[in-house]
Amino acid sequence: MIDKQVKTTADAVAGVRDGSTVLVAGFGAVGVADHLLDALHEQGARELTIVANNSGNGDHGLARLINSGRVRKVICSYPRSGDYSAFLNAYRAKSLELELVPQGIISERMRCHAAGLGGFFSPVSAGTKLGEGKETRQIDGRLHVFEKPLKGDVALIKANKADRWGNLTYIKSARNFNPVMAMAADLTVVEVDGMVELGALDPEAVVTPSIFVDRVVVVGAQVVGAKA
C-alpha cells in the first residue's frame, strides 16, 4: 500500500544534504512551509542554495536559516520585503550570494525543468542589466534572452489537504509557488493542514497530482501573518 505520510517534520526533511538547492514556496508569509523550514534548521544541512520569491522575515523560517549561517546563496526576485534584516545583514557582510531573477522567470525556469526542457527564450530582461551575459536571439523581430531550467534537490511545500498518495489541494492565494515547486525537485516534501481518505478529494479539484509528491506530514492549520 502506498503511503507517503511520515510521522514528524524531522522525518520529512531527513537526508537533506549539505550544498542542496532548496525550493521554498510561498509569497510573503502566505503559503510558506514554516514547520518544514524549522525542521530543516534542526536537521542541520549547510551551504544551502535557497530558491524563493522573498528572503524571509524576522528570525523564523528562511530568515532563521540565514541567521544561522546555513545559506550560501539566495535565488529570488524581491529580497526587500517586510523585516528582511536577516538577509540584509548577511548580504552586507557578503556571507551569502544573491541571484536576482525576475519573478515570473523563476517559476518558468522551474516549470521548464519539471517539463524536461533545456531552457527557453524570453523577452523579459532583454536589454537590461539583468539580461547581461545571457545568450540572445531575435525572435519575430523581438530580442529574447535564454533562460536555463532551474532544478531543486528538495522542495518545501505548504498545502491544505493531502491523501496517502500525495494528491494535494491548496487554499486561495496560498497556492502561489507551491504547485510549480512541487514539480521541480528530486525530493518534494509537503506539510499539510490535514489528511483525507484516498478518494475523498474531488479529482477535478486536485491541483498537485501525487506523482510529484514524495513525503507528506500533518502540521495542523497554518497561522499566517497578513503582512510580511
Partner 1 sequence: MIPESCQPLTREQMAWRAAQDLKEGDYVNLGIGIPTLAASYVPSGREVIFHSENGILGMGPKPAPGEEDPYMIDAGKNNTTLVAGGCFVHHADAFLMIRGGHLDVSLLGAFEVSEKGDLANWSTEDPAFPPGVGGAMDLAVGAKAIRVIMEHTSKKGEPRILKSCTYPLTAAGCVKRIYTNLAVIDVTPQGLSVIEMIPGMTLEALQALTEPKLQLASNWQALAPPQARAA
Binding site for partner 1 (CB under 8 A): 27-30, 53, 77-82, 87-88, 91, 98, 100-105, 107-108, 110-111, 122-130, 170-180, 207, 222-228
Q: Which is nearer to partner 1, 18 or 117 (CB)?
A: 117
Q: Which is nearer to partner 1, 45 or 181 (CB)?
A: 181
CB of 185: closest distance to partner 1 in angstroms?
A: 15
CB of 178: closest distance to partner 1 in angstroms?
A: 7
Backbone angles phi and psi of 140, in degrees to 5: 50, 40
Q: Give dist(CA 24, CA 31) in Å, integer.
A: 10
CB of 78: closest distance to partner 1 in angstroms?
A: 4
CB of 162: closest distance to partner 1 in angstroms?
A: 16
Q: Which is nearer to partner 1, 165 or 170 (CB)?
A: 170
Q: In what order do the strands lie in the sheet with 142-147?
A: 120-122, 142-147, 136-139
Q: Give dist(CA 191, CA 221) in Å, integer.
A: 10
Q: Give dist(CA 179, CA 193) in Å, integer.
A: 16
CB of 86: closest distance to partner 1 in angstroms?
A: 12
State the residue for C-alpha cell 509557488. 177
Q: Which is nearer to partner 1, 65 or 174 (CB)?
A: 174
Q: Which is nearer to partner 1, 198 or 207 (CB)?
A: 207
Q: Which residues of 148-164 are buried (b: 16+ CB within 10 A; e: fewer)?
A: ebbbbbbbbbbbbbbbb
- Three-class DSSP category at 124: coil
